[in-house]
Amino acid sequence: MTAWAHHPADWREWYGSTARYATDQYAQLLATVDPRTISATRVLGRLRLTDTGTAHTEVAVRTDAGMVSVVLVPATGNSGGWQVQDLRPGAQAVD
């Protein structure tokens, strides 16, 4: 979320810092985003778990432009981490 909300002048810098956390499919979508259209510029506070299932987990993150839901899926490979599958400003995020 911090990388997504940060808007450097160089689009390649923004894309590189966000796409590394994304699934391949979501990274392709991020390649079409102009970060200047993203209202959020910083994260405020900690995330809150809003939904967990067998295939994904969803968290709500407060930003200076409102709540954002982040859909996370287990990372591919052996990293054991998570990857962003989708970001939804306002959707499902309870204030």
Q: How far apart are CA 15 and CA 55, in angstroms?
A: 26
Q: What stretches in the chain show pLDDT beneath 70?
A: 78-79, 91-95
Residue 63, strand partner residues: 43, 66
Let me know: does 5 contact 42? Beta carbons within 8 Å.
yes
Q: What is the pLDDT of residue 91?
A: 65
Over residues 63-85, the pLDDT tens digits come to 999 999 999 999 887 667 899 99
pTM: 0.85
| Per-residue model confidence (pLDDT) at position 10 | 92
